[in-house]
Chains A and B, each alone.
Chain A
Amino acid sequence: MNREDFPMLNQDIVYFDNGATTLKPQCVIDSVVRYMREHTSNIHRGDYDAAVITNKLYDNTREVVANFVNCNPNEVVFTSGTTMSINMIVFGFMKKVLKAGDEVLITKSEHASNILPWWKLKEEIGINIKFMDLNENYELTLDSVEKSITDKTKVISIAHVTNVIGDVRDVASIGKLCHDKNIYFCVDGAQSVPHMMEDFKNSNIDFLSFSGHKMCGPTGVGVLVGKYELLKKMDPLCYGGGMNNSFEADFSYELKDVPTRLEAGTPPIAEVIGLREAILYLSSIGMDKIHQHEMELKKYLVEKLEHISNIKVYNKNSNSGILAFNIDDVFAQDSSIYLNHYKIFVRAGNHCAKILKDEIGIKNTVRVSMYFYNTFEDVDKLVKALEQSEDIFRVVI
């Protein structure tokens, strides 16, 4: 649906790499171009007309985000993306409140961004990191979460939707569990916020991270949503302009309140404005409708692939538009190059989930990740190409 809104789809392509980044609708492009052509200005420092327009759009984006994920506007921090958001959580907050021996629970299917910051914190202050077990479908169940919690558990940090298996975690129940047991609950929303309803308050999430470019917005902007009282305790990782009230030659200084305190320097203004437009655009379509469409496409694709004998699918049951597979005896990259021959854009590799191989027994897969603008015809084209894949090397060599 809404394909006419996406200029890139005027080319005859099948874009199935939405887990990596999404295409941009014309309204988002226009909003960024309008800022650059008509009201370029910095925020919070100008009294002239262009600055007023920019300020209004920038500030209103916090409200738009807040409505979208159900939080308060002063709980919305603009970052460069999910990676930066999680690094702020780990090094700006957790480093202050955790101590040696405290347990952080994650899973082996997390993205590098929700793993390496914790590795580094372990190195720095000696926290313990434990992996919660995944079931036979490589999914995280509530039961597994409950079993993993000990009296030393202080943090659970997981993706709402994982980026290779695409399993949807029951964040509402896990959040309640964390709330009852006084555990910080950090959710990597990079693969969920663009595709389904996310409810920060009702899921008892303490910190939620996501990226603009995976939800029809520009690259270079993301969001950290944090409970206001927790953000107040967070140390900024960057200091400078825009985040201070005053500083004197006697080395005293006073910082602004959050969220501004956590946004030192000129922020990505054009990108924030683009993100605002993207969220309004997604909301106008409806997140339920988007998720439902992706699920229908996934079901259709899985049914079709079951009839192709040389395709191994790793996650046919997961409840999202992500499908990981391999063609028998073919290196994933050769498969993606083969599909590119048919103008089908997919991703091959470990998808930054480098320890998932311990679970699924293979390092690299081909990943199809769908969005609302994908169609049943797109799936048919992929299936047709895979059906003909016995001549793959005739095509790729």
Chain B
Amino acid sequence: MDNNIRREIIMDNYQDPMNRGLIEDETYLKVNTNSESCIDNLDFMMKVEDGVIKDIRFDGEACAISTSATSIMIRSLIGKSVSEVKEILLNYQHMINEEDYNSDVLGELNVYDEICKQPNRKNCALLPSVAIEKMLKEIENSR
């Protein structure tokens, strides 16, 4: 991917992220990701109905990579089934961790395919996927 396009997508999502701001709604699941390795601190909330992601929202303070990755991920996941989301998260994590992955399922998230060149930013890019995975596990455990 061209570096300028990559930067433009990331900057757009950093400066004007999708679904920033939490709402009062008890039907959402909530988690906080207070990263141990950096100072990113984001709250997430997610609504799942009939096995489909209806909404994800977030708020808090985080760097450009975490914030933009959260925004892009939210856009990529809303409307998808839980099993589709799991596949996207798995492939996304593989991409960030330099393992084999299927780029076809990642869409715009492919803008982070070179983040591994900056090892100190891997956790930033992984932050939203960790949070969403945590919420999915909570759903599974509550069954």
Contacts and interface: CB of A to CB of B under 8 A. Distances in A.
A334 B10 CA distance: 13
Given A337-B120, A337-B121, A340-B120, A396 B64 contact: yes
A393 B7 CA distance: 8
A307 to B, nearest CB: 26
Given A337-B63, A340-B120, A397-B65, A332 B39 contact: yes
B40 interface: yes
Given A333-B38, A333-B39, A337-B120, A393 B61 contact: no
Given A393-B7, A394-B7, A397-B10, A334 B120 contact: no
B62 interface: yes
Contacts of A363: 61
A327 to B, nearest CB: 12
B11 interface: yes
Interface in A312-364: 331-334, 337, 340, 348-350, 363-364
Interface in B110-138: 118, 120-121, 124
B61 to A, nearest CB: 6
Given A332-B39, A349-B39, A393-B7, A364 B61 contact: yes
A364 B39 contact: yes
The range of chain A's interface size is 10 to 19
A396 B117 CA distance: 12
B120 A331 contact: no
A358 to B, nearest CB: 16
A394 B6 CA distance: 11
Contact of A350 (B11, B14, B39, B65): B39
Nearest to A362: B61
Interface string A364-397: 1000000000000000000000000000011011
B65 to A, nearest CB: 7
A348 B40 CA distance: 11
Interface-centre pick from B14, B40, B62, B63 (highest chain A CB count, 10 A): B63
Nearest to A348: B39
A332 to B, nearest CB: 7
**How extensive is the interface on chain B, given as a class?**
10 to 19
A373 B7 CA distance: 37
Interface in B1-18: 6-7, 10-11, 14
A331 B14 CA distance: 11
A94 B70 CA distance: 46
A334 B39 contact: no
Give the dominant DSSP class at B's interface: helix
A334 B121 CA distance: 10
Contact of B40 (A333, A393, A397): A333
Contacts of A350: 39
Interface string B32-64: 000000111000000000000000000001111
B7 A333 contact: no
B43 to A, nearest CB: 14
A396 B115 CA distance: 10
Centre residue among A337, A348, A393, A397 by max chain B CB count within 10 A: A397
A334 B63 CA distance: 6
A196 B39 CA distance: 30
Residue among A334, A348, A364 having the largest count of chain B Cβ atoms under 10 Å: A334
Contacts of B39: 332-333, 348-350, 364
Given A340-B120, A350-B39, A364-B39, A331 B62 contact: yes
Contact of A333 (B11, B63, B118): B63
A332 B39 CA distance: 9
Contacts of B64: 331, 334, 393, 396-397
B116 to A, nearest CB: 14
Interface in B50-109: 61-65
A393 B11 CA distance: 8
B100 to A, nearest CB: 25
A363 B42 CA distance: 13
Nearest to B39: A349
Interface in A288-331: 331
A155 B141 CA distance: 48
Contacts of B38: 333, 349
Nearest to A392: B64
B106 to A, nearest CB: 18
A340 B121 CA distance: 12
Nearest to B9: A397
Contacts of A337: 63, 118, 120-121
8 contacts: A331-B62, A331-B64, A333-B40, A333-B63, A333-B124, A337-B63, A348-B39, A397-B11
Q: Which 3 pairs from chain A and chain B are nearest by CB? A: A349-B39, A333-B63, A334-B63
Interface of B: 6-7, 10-11, 14, 38-40, 61-65, 118, 120-121, 124
Given A337-B120, A397-B11, 6 more contacts: A331-B62, A333-B39, A337-B121, A394-B7, A397-B10, A397-B65
